[in-house]
Amino acid sequence: MLKVKLVLAALISILPLNILRVLGYRLLGYRIRGSIGFGTVIAVSKAHIEKCKIGWFNLFVGPMSMKIGLNAAIENRNTFSCGFWTVRDQYREAGYARSLQIGADTLITSGHTFDVAGSFTLGQGSWIAGAGSQFWTHGIGVRDRDIRIGRDCYLASAVRFAPGSVVGDHVLVALGSVVNGKFDDSNVMLGGVPAKVLKSQYDWRQAVSAPSLS
């Protein structure tokens, strides 16, 4: 059934008007409001998309459920995929969650990759900025695989999240960091390969809005 949806979704994605694309995806059984960009393919098991803006040439594909919250913004050329292998008989007992949860008022810019074999959760108000970040929820022998990013976080360009990684609320993850553990503390800056806490009691929003001294 999903493979049929994929063919139909590819056709829907190139319809010339947003209203036609939204109506087409509703006919596939998805609950969708908002703006769906040209070339964006949605072929998943279940989708609930609140009023939000999704840009051009994004790909949501595979036997997963997805929920995108109110006023979320996803720019262009992002890939959210769950491999069809996750529902094969030999993997049924592995407990792959196959769940994508993107909170309200979030921002995902362009050119990022999301593996949704496990679960991926992005908390309300968080940003995945820049380009080229990757999030992986499976690996050989991995059981603790789900990725969770808290509320009001900022992830800079080209970060990598290993399976099972967690960051708390109000966290900044610096450019090029590799996160491969659980960082439950809030208001910290993470950075490095592998990532570690660089600053505690850190408010990235205040740092962004502070006037330059130069």
Q: Which residue has the higher pLDDT, 89 or 137?
A: 137
Read off the pLDDT of residues 150-163 as tens digits, 9 standing for 90 and up: 999 999 999 999 99
Residue 88 lies in a domain: no
Domain count, the chain: 1
Q: What span, in angstroms and rounded, lies between the C-alpha atoms of 75 and 95?
A: 31
Residue 130 lies in a domain: yes
Residue 177 CB contacts under 8 Å (≥ 6 apart), including other chains: 156, 159, 160, 190, 191, 192, 193, 195
Q: What span, in angstroms and rounded, lies between the C-alpha atoms of 162 and 143?
A: 12
Q: Is the pLDDT of residue 210 over 60?
A: no
Residue 47 lies in a domain: yes
- pLDDT of 212: 42
- pLDDT of 213: 37
Residue 112 neighbours by CB distance under 10 Å: 25
> Which residues constitute the domain of residue 190?
2-83+93-205
Which neighbouring-strand residues pair with 114?
80, 135
Residue 117 lies in a domain: yes
Residue 210 lies in a domain: no
Residue 104 lies in a domain: yes
Read off the pLDDT of residues 15-60 as tens digits, 9 standing for 90 and up: 999 999 999 999 999 999 999 999 999 999 999 999 999 999 999 9
Residue 17 neighbours by CB distance under 10 Å: 9
The domain that contains 34 carries what CATH number?
A: 2.160.10.10
Give percent of the chain with pLDDT exceeding 90: 83
Tokens coding 124: 């309300």
**Whether 9 contacts 30, CB under 8 Å:** no
> Taking all residues of the chain, what is their mean pLDDT, rounded to a whole number?
93
Question: pLDDT-derived band of residue 90, with 50, 70 and 90 as boundaries?
Answer: confident
Residue 53 lies in a domain: yes
- pLDDT of 209: 59
Residue 213 lies in a domain: no
